[in-house]
Copies of this chain bind each other. A is one copy, B any other.
């Protein structure tokens, strides 16, 4: 990064791009003080800031690589910036500052992406994005009936709510900017001539990444944040079937097999047993096999393995007070406390839990070894949903003495690390597969697979099938190569239930993602299940065969992810950066470089429009018809035949052509 003093003022440039430009009359940094109000209701946050001061730091003095910023000439500097390679380090000289606002030059015709895993808007321009890990909300659209209903329990959410935020963005100006902080922050892309970054702390630094191609920048980001191991070999055997039906899960799995479903795993989140509440059955949050619900489970796992099917379970970072593990953890002091030394209890709906304090190395080690190591991996689990991570209460006291408000965003990464260490400790990296919905900076290094969270069981714009694409594409740009989702969605509330069409449309998208996995949803009995309707089961079976058929191609994508950090699901612009028409597309994606997938994401559609990028010819997999790039085509898309194309020039063309025979 290049620092140029302009007297008065300065410019910071990177490869010719002005990334910070300061003049006394147009300062790029404001410092101040705020008092936040933050209320958490079961992972949903109500946050408001009272900005007491917001002072433009108009006066800059450049001394070597260091910039001292103050209100006015002659006033004591409040902030020091130091250029450090492609980073800019921040140092508060006025300890009372707890808010910082940076303005990054922007142009009107600029697109920005990223922000972690964004579920509503892939192109972030024109909107403001708070970056704070939380429940994503139900419906995520305050104008919708479902969100209105959910908001009565403060659970409705909005477009920016996500389990996995990250203060990193990529600009069409061919650079990326990352803010190294765990504090609450906001990316505000609503202005024409600048982007504003708000941080509720003095960040460690901002880091800049510039290159001629978007792909190089994505590679650089994945190098910075860490890459995932390749997909495990067993995953290529088919779909992971999610069933939570106790012993019945095995007989139901047999139905899937008999129907020709290709299966890589059986995932039973109820492997720990159930708890009955007035809301219905919940899992028993004590992380060890419940042989009352799953008699002879180890034998059954072994038998599944003989058939090439792995067994997966469930875990989260809490322990319920009435489970045996709670007593052990409490005796050792492994829980976050309430400030008076007592275990902080969190109400999860008719049962209380302690929060394992992952800032205590002994607690992390215990959880990794005693729970994940001994009770899960050694027991025979090959993977699990590593649920939650976004709920750290902001008022608990932690072993490292850092304010929980500053640890909140980091919690998903710590949680991922505990899981990854447990897996590595058993030598199972790249074989045991856990998947998380929560994330933050650094989760990339530890979490081998994201899952898109708890979509509603519908086609809604802000919480349905289509949001999963947005989640995959945004998280993929910041270093998460692998993304997948619950086939059919998860959240069924206020009478919203799955239709056969939804299940089928979701399955036919999932066939073109790194991992296919089904889920019975939050209310299995109220909702259609894949094995309940012959047409749905048959469709699903065919999709798993397509997935398996594409395994050789998917393996090359997994290898590419390991070597370049490019995600398996890619936004069109990542491969076609000179075609601006691709920049804001969020309802279709490239599956690797050679396939273009345009899922049908609305109900009752049998055709859809698809933009085909300029510079390649595209073959429609179901008809073999060739299309020139650079145009929008309208394609027949009956159930079972979603719009999927491949590059005519692809080395895998023969494989792709074979899809139509399945």
Give chain A's interface residues, CB within 8 Å of chain B.
30, 32, 51-56, 71-72, 74-75, 143, 145, 148, 151-152
Contact = CB atoms under 8 A, between A and B. Distances in A.
Contact of A148 (B30, B32, B75, B148): B148
A54 B32 contact: yes
A216 B362 CA distance: 69
A190 to B, nearest CB: 8
A71 B71 contact: yes
A450 to B, nearest CB: 33
Contacts of A52: 30, 54, 56
Contacts of A32: 54
B54 A56 contact: no
6 contacts: A30-B53, A51-B51, A53-B55, A53-B56, A55-B55, A143-B151
Contacts of A71: 71-72
Contacts of A145: 148
Contacts of A74: 74
Nearest to A148: B148
A119 to B, nearest CB: 22
A53 B74 CA distance: 20
A74 B51 CA distance: 26
A58 to B, nearest CB: 10
Contacts of A72: 71-72, 75
A580 to B, nearest CB: 28
Contacts of A152: 143
Contacts of A56: 52-53, 55
Most buried by B among A56, A74, A148, A151: A148
A53 B71 CA distance: 12
A116 B143 CA distance: 31
A32 B55 CA distance: 9
A127 to B, nearest CB: 13
A49 to B, nearest CB: 11
Given A30-B53, A51-B54, A52-B54, 9 more contacts: A30-B52, A52-B56, A54-B55, A55-B55, A71-B71, A71-B72, A72-B75, A74-B74, A143-B151
A103 to B, nearest CB: 10
Nearest to A143: B152
Contacts of A54: 32, 51-55
A163 to B, nearest CB: 25
A30 B71 CA distance: 15
Contacts of A75: 72
Nearest to A72: B75
A152 B145 CA distance: 11
A446 B152 CA distance: 44
Contacts of A151: 143
A54 B55 CA distance: 6
A403 to B, nearest CB: 22
Nearest to A144: B148
Nearest to A55: B55
Contacts of A143: 151-152
Contacts of A55: 53-56
A537 to B, nearest CB: 39
A5 B513 CA distance: 72
A266 to B, nearest CB: 43
A153 to B, nearest CB: 11
A53 B53 CA distance: 8
A559 B639 CA distance: 80
A357 B614 CA distance: 56
Nearest to A54: B54
A56 B56 CA distance: 12
Nearest to A188: B50
A55 B51 CA distance: 10
A30 B32 CA distance: 12
Nearest to A145: B148
Contacts of A30: 52-53
Nearest 9 interchain pairs by C-beta: A54-B54, A148-B148, A55-B55, A53-B56, A53-B54, A72-B75, A51-B54, A71-B71, A51-B51
A55 B75 CA distance: 14
A53 B51 CA distance: 10
Nearest to A191: B50
A152 B71 CA distance: 45
A144 B263 CA distance: 47
A51 B53 CA distance: 10
A391 to B, nearest CB: 24
A465 B137 CA distance: 35
A143 B153 CA distance: 10
A89 to B, nearest CB: 25
Contacts of A53: 30, 54-56
Nearest to A70: B72
A507 to B, nearest CB: 34
